[in-house]
Amino acid sequence: MDRREFSKSITAATIALGLGRLKLSAATPPPQIAITMDDFTWANPVKLTAEKRLNAILAALRSHSIKAAGFVIGRNADSETGQSLLRQWDNAGHLICNHTYSHRNYSDPRMTTATYRDDVLHAEAVLKSYPHFRKLFRFPMLKEGDTAEKRDGFRAFLKQHNYRTGHVTIDNSDWIVDERLRVRLAREPGAELKPYRDFYLKHMWERAIYYDELGRKVLGRNVKHTVLTHFNLLNGLFLGDLLDMFKSRGWRLIDAETAFTDSVFAAEPKLLPAGESIIWALAKATGKIDKDLRYPAEDGEYERAEMDRLGL
């Protein structure tokens, strides 16, 4: 091949590659992900005050022009400090959703449907006056009942009160990383933060990929993801890095309200105990994708050994 021919064939190859890339990107739209943030526990902060944590979290969301959904424990909003934090969250345009008043486990055999209903309505009374309050409900610990009667009874109650379940699609254990970080900083205020950041980002990425693939296996399509995070020190420090990571790896950041329009959130898998990520529950309910599905789907236990190894 002479030089000219060689250059022609290179150009052709480049064009073919380019077209291939175009085709590929048209066939595989980027995964979409919204931030959901639970609990709003603000008491006894380490390193950052609740106000500083909130400001950092709001700044990270603002810099990516996205609106999150906060699943707020009513008890945490039932005080002047709680109200002041929540007003700022609301003023920034983020959703306020129901996460019960006292954050108890619905799958506990001692918990009754009647007690749980009262707890949800109690939280609603505390939260409903915020302009961005939405009737989305998330079960604490994602536990949706240990018997068919409790599970179905609560689904009926939620419908009757015009609630939708604010499911998580990407479950994870951010809370254990936060817990380890706070213990470390209480003992050693100058401890290096980067190893915790790196572990957190790696953990979240692994879980995102896992649930994204599981979702395609069970539904045969992409879902609009809702990732679980908590209002904690970890996200006060690193939410911005988390958002940057997803964006730089080709994921599209979307508003929580947009994500919750996905039909996956209306699914009602017949599973016991009920709960976990909606994707996990749907996969489990098929009975076919069983071998990789551990229970609980996520738990700090799964991360502890690796964190011990890394000295975190």
The verdict on 276 binding Zn ion (CB under 5 A) reads no
CB of 275 to Zn ion, least distance (A): 12
Compute the CA torsion angle 15, 20, 22, 27 (nearest 10 deg): 170
CB of 147 to Zn ion, least distance (A): 22
Q: How far apart are the first and last CA of the chain?
A: 59
Name the segment binding Zn ion (CB under 5 A); options: 3-11, 39-47, 84-92, 205-213: 39-47
CB of 39 to Zn ion, least distance (A): 4
CB of 311 to Zn ion, least distance (A): 28
Q: Residue 143 or 225: which CB sits closer to Zn ion?
A: 143
Tokens of 52: 């500083």
- Binders of Zn ion among residues 116 to 175 (CB under 5 A) are 140
The residue from 39, 124, 144, 178 that contacts Zn ion (CB under 5 A) is 39
CB of 164 to Zn ion, least distance (A): 17
Q: Residue 38 or 276: which CB sits closer to Zn ion?
A: 38
Compute how many residues bind Zn ion; rule: CB under 5 A: 3
Q: What is the rounded distance in angstroms from the CA atom of residue 308 to the CA atom of residue 301?
A: 11
Name the segment binding Zn ion (CB under 5 A); options: 6-14, 20-28, 37-45, 250-258: 37-45
Name the segment binding Zn ion (CB under 5 A); options: 22-30, 34-42, 218-226, 267-275: 34-42
Name the segment binding Zn ion (CB under 5 A); options: 32-40, 176-184, 240-248, 287-295: 32-40
CB of 36 to Zn ion, least distance (A): 11
The residue from 33, 34, 37, 38 that contacts Zn ion (CB under 5 A) is 38
Name the segment binding Zn ion (CB under 5 A); options: 33-41, 115-123, 127-135, 173-181: 33-41
Q: What is the rounded distance in angstroms from the CA atom of residue 52 to the CA atom of residue 195?
A: 22
Q: Residue 140 or 166: which CB sits closer to Zn ion?
A: 140
Q: Residue 218 or 274: which CB sits closer to Zn ion?
A: 274
Name the segment binding Zn ion (CB under 5 A); options: 16-24, 38-46, 50-58, 295-303: 38-46
Q: Is 149 exposed, middle or buried (0-12, 13-18, 19+ CB in 10 A)?
A: exposed
Q: Residue 38 or 90: which CB sits closer to Zn ion?
A: 38
Q: Note the residues at the interface with Zn ion (CB under 5 A).
A: 38-39, 140
